[in-house]
Amino acid sequence: FYTAPGCGTCNNIGYAGRLGIYEIFVISKEVEEAILAGNVAEYQIRKIATEHGTVTMVQDGLLKAMDGLTSAEEVFRVTE
């Protein structure tokens, strides 16, 4: 992972400006069936969704950290 050097412009954090990290919740057939069943816990729906294409905010953030756009520490700070 990339660690950015700080400077006066970025207030010594290594990054300036904002970068969006997103969660894309894919409503697959399996997710729809779980929701309509009505007796499935939220964590089970999230598990089904991630198995069928959902990208979580943490995953999106870590992908951006691997590209050097942010740090893993910042991803975990803003998604906790």
Domain ranges across the chain = 29-79
Question: For the chain, how many helices (H) and strands (E)?
Answer: 4, 0
Say if CB 76 and CB 6 are below 8 A apart: no
The pLDDT of residue 13 is above 80: no
Does the pTM exceed 0.95?
no
Distance CA 14, CA 68 (A): 11
Residues 6+ apart with CB under 8 A from 42: none
Long-range contacts of 4-11 (CB under 8 A, 24+ apart): 4/68, 4/71
> What pLDDT score was predicted for residue 12?
75
9 or 63, which is more confident: 63
In tens, the pLDDT along 16-68 reads 788 999 998 889 999 999 999 999 999 999 999 999 999 999 999 999 999 98
Q: What number of residues does the chain have?
A: 80
Query: What is residue 2's predicted lDDT score, i.e. its pLDDT?
Result: 64
pLDDT value for 18: 87
